[in-house]
Amino acid sequence: MIKRFGDFTAVDGIDVDVQAGEAFGFLGPNGAGKSSTMRMIGCVSPPTDGVLEILGMDPRRDGSAIRARLGVCPQLDNLDAELTVRENLVTYARFFGISRATARRRADELLDFVQLGERADSKTEPLSGGMKRRLTIARALVNEPDIVLLDEPTTGLDPQARHLVWERLFRLKQQGVTLVLTTHYMDEAEQLCDRLVVMDGGKIVAEGSPRELIERHSTREVVELRFTAEDQGMYGEKLDGVADRVEVLPDRVLLYADDGDYALAEVHRRSLSPASALVRRAGLEDVFLQLTGRTLVD
């Protein structure tokens, strides 16, 4: 699948297959082509080239019928500021041809589900970012969709709000709803996705379950070192050989090793004394760094 905007190629020939009932993630930094991909899957942006089939239908011909079975939670909340919280859901349900009585009943159920029942008659303006996002998710569920598309569902939320959103999404997943999401947060991908692809510059650079990707592209553990000296770079040479791989970043040095404690002991043996040292399990962040040579959030 390819998407071009003039001379710019946003999505450069990706090939993915999402199974019903799975939680599938597109992981990558800003500008990787994740949102363009989501818009194509959401049938609001025709692919420039390639084949796209959703629920066994062709978006070019059956866009409206496909969208009837999708739930979309866009990156930027586009709630209706002129309506109340409940009206937002009821009005949206009407776009799907759902009867007014059913729409009202479902709106109340969904508001409970996303814990916004008490704010039902409030305007959307005074809601916090986390509440707005939860309302957007509730809105995406109003047609009882087979697939829910979530474009960076927790970007810009505080940790508490993120966990609440994750918990709700996890419950959806348990109910058998197919989730397709994009994220540039490693922990989000690890928490929610059964399978994911790592995207960079419009291309897929790796594919698999979070565990598989970490095993394939990283060591088991990582040691994060911070030195007080201005230039972390000069430590690159001094640390050569202490671990399988040494990655020097502007603010810290990463040592990739299957036994982090052993690597750290080796650092001390070379009489280097970092200001702080942390041994942790490797994550998708490390996979991305290994694959592209860059960090995800820059």
**Which residues would be at the binding site for other proteins (CB under 8 A)?**
5, 42, 44-46, 63-65, 67-68, 70, 72, 74, 76, 78-83, 87, 90-92, 94-97, 139, 143
In the complex with other proteins, the residue whose CB is nearer, 144 or 240, is 144
DSSP per-residue string spanning 23-82: EEEEE--TTSSHHHHHHHHTTSS--SBS---BTTB-HHHHHHHHHTTEEEE-SS----TT
Helix (H, G, I), strand (E, B) or coil at 232: helix
In the complex with other proteins, the residue whose CB is nearer, 87 or 215, is 87
In the complex with other proteins, the residue whose CB is nearer, 70 or 196, is 70
Q: How far is the CB of 94 from other proteins (least distance, A)?
A: 4
Q: How far is the CB of 213 from other proteins (least distance, A)?
A: 30
Q: How far is the CB of 87 from other proteins (least distance, A)?
A: 5
Q: Are 70 and 145 in contact (CB under 8 A)?
A: yes
Distances, alpha carbon 217 to alpha carbons 1, 82, 107, 146, 290, in Å: 25, 49, 44, 33, 7
C-alpha to C-alpha distance for 222 and 94, rounded to whole angstroms? 51
What the block records as the tokens of 193 is 């996705």
Q: How far is the CB of 160 from other proteins (least distance, A)?
A: 26
Torsion 130-134-135-137 (CA) sign: positive
Q: How far is the CB of 140 from other proteins (least distance, A)?
A: 8
H helix or E strand, kind and range, residue 235: helix 235-238
